[in-house]
């Protein structure tokens, strides 16, 4: 079976991972760090803004079952892409919105969707999401993997983030 990789930064990685794991065609999801300068970053260093990394979810998916554009649609729904360096109550560069592309086709698809969303008139502010080449993925500490599943705690709930995203729509 062929597989492909997608990496997204959309705020607190616990909630984002939880949502993407439910998408048919996603074979695996891991949380970690990407986009910074420091090798082998720790959660504490990332949260202290000592690394430049964002919290990310890296997905392995079956491209015969799941189109990358569907993953992008989920990405737009799980956070407010108009916020800069924050998502809901979580503030800092590690919570920035980034699409890390692994293939040129992913970059093109991301740029096209950003243009369409910005031109749609559905958002009060332009999308702040950056589109960047994927860098080395640093897997987060094991206690962060499948965090909601293991702990039953919905700390950075997607529902809160979705309310924030609703507030950016032009018809509010």
The residues, any chain, with a CB within 8 Å of residue 112's CB and separated by 6 or more, are: none
Residue 108 pLDDT exceeds 70: yes
d(CA 161, CA 158): 5
The pLDDT score that the predictor gives to residue 153 is 65
Domain 4-167 has CATH 3.30.1060.10: yes
- Domain range summary for the chain, segments of one domain joined by +: 4-167
Torsion angle of C-alpha atoms 68, 1, 20, 58, degrees rounded to 10: -80
Q: Judging by DSSP bridges, how do beta strands 90-91 and 130-133 pair with one another?
A: unpaired
Catalytic residue among 12, 46, 110, 158: 12
Enter the pTM of the model.
0.86
pLDDT, one tens digit per residue, over 52-66 is: 999 999 999 999 999
The burial class, CB within 10 Å (0-12 / 13-18 / 19+), for 55 is buried
pLDDT, one tens digit per residue, over 114-157 is: 999 999 988 889 999 999 999 999 998 866 777 677 777 665 54
* Residue 12 annotated among the catalytic residues of the structure: yes
- The pairs formed by 152-158 with CB atoms below 8 angstroms and a separation of 24 or more are 154/15, 155/12, 155/14, 155/15, 156/11, 156/12, 156/14, 156/15, 156/87, 156/88, 156/90, 157/15, 158/15, 158/16, 158/18, 158/19, 158/78
Q: Judging by DSSP bridges, how do beta strands 97-101 and 138-139 pair with one another?
A: unpaired
């Amino acid at each position: 079976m062929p597989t492909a990789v997608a990496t997204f930064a959309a705020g607190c990685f616990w909630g984002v991972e939880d949502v993407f794991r439910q998408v048919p065609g996603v074979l695996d999801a891991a949380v970690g760090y990407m986009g910074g300068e420091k090798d082998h970053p720790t959660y504490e260093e990332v949260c202290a803004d000592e690394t430049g990394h964002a919290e990310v979810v890296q997905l392995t998916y079956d491209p015969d079952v799941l189109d990358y554009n569907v993953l992008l649609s989920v990405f737009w729904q799980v956070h407010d892409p108009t916020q800069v360096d924050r998502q809901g109550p979580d503030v800092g560069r590690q919570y920035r919105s980034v699409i890390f592309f692994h293939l040129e086709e992913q970059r093109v698809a991301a740029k096209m969707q950003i243009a369409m969303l910005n031109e749609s008139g559905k958002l009060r502010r332009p999308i702040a999401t950056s589109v960047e080449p994927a860098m080395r993925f640093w897997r987060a500490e094991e206690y962060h993997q499948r965090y909601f599943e293991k702990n039953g705690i919905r700390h950075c709930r997607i529902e809160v983030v979705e309310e924030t995203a609703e507030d950016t729509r032009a018809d509010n």
